[in-house]
Homo-oligomer: A and B are copies of this chain.
């Protein structure tokens, strides 16, 4: 397929609140979206809970902001049944929150190995079983679960689902109401990515989101050194082309963890650069 033209505007942009995590509370994020012409938001649960979930739902609605997603729940693997139940209980709260704010999906991180365990296969099984149980609940709440495969460097402690293939396999197994979130930062390196995006596209509605940031060279920290779109090595337009060819035309979330750079700048400066880059380089 041909490489897509730059978007030229921010009509499909969503602000993942992690991008200005250190600068703004939820209300400031909403105001920032309005000031910078960003029509959608994807809040993290800490900011959401700090503001109040019902109050946030009204804030988003009153300001005409679409809620493209809610970050995050999951972390299914645990050493015992009580730990697994605790994880599921938190996931159900997150489903309720996502329903309350009308989020288009709830972002699911698989979680890593169970504490004290080296059994990756066992963790994969607990993720699958946890998702199956959560999905029953999410369907009744009419909330879509979006599995976000994370970069393999997070396999031990954040998510042991690290490829889109694995996420697609889980979706095939579990049926309706669950899909995938495709984040270029986590998946750009995978030679099977184009094929797996096409595979996801064969199931209408499976692709629930597309997240952008960039991979910096060098990367100085495993967690908090993501780059602004255009500052790294990811061929974001190519990946956007694959996702759009697969049928996804929804919001594109800007999600940048950057302790030493973007989190230290003024929030409006970050938004100015992010919206410019959104329009021109992704």
Interface residues of A (CB under 8 A from B): 112-113, 118-120, 124, 151-153, 155-157, 160, 162-163, 165-166, 188-192, 215, 217-219, 222, 232-235
Contacts and interface: CB of A to CB of B under 8 A. Distances in A.
A152 B219 contact: no
A124 B190 CA distance: 11
Given A120-B188, A153-B219, A156-B215, 9 more contacts: A120-B235, A151-B152, A152-B190, A153-B222, A155-B189, A156-B189, A162-B190, A218-B222, A219-B222
Contacts of A188: 120, 155
B152 A120 contact: no
Chain A interface mostly helix, strand, loop or mixed? loop
Contacts of A219: 153, 222
A120 B166 contact: no
A218 B157 contact: yes
A120 B215 CA distance: 13
12 contacts: A119-B235, A120-B188, A120-B189, A120-B191, A152-B189, A152-B190, A153-B222, A155-B189, A156-B232, A157-B217, A162-B189, A163-B190
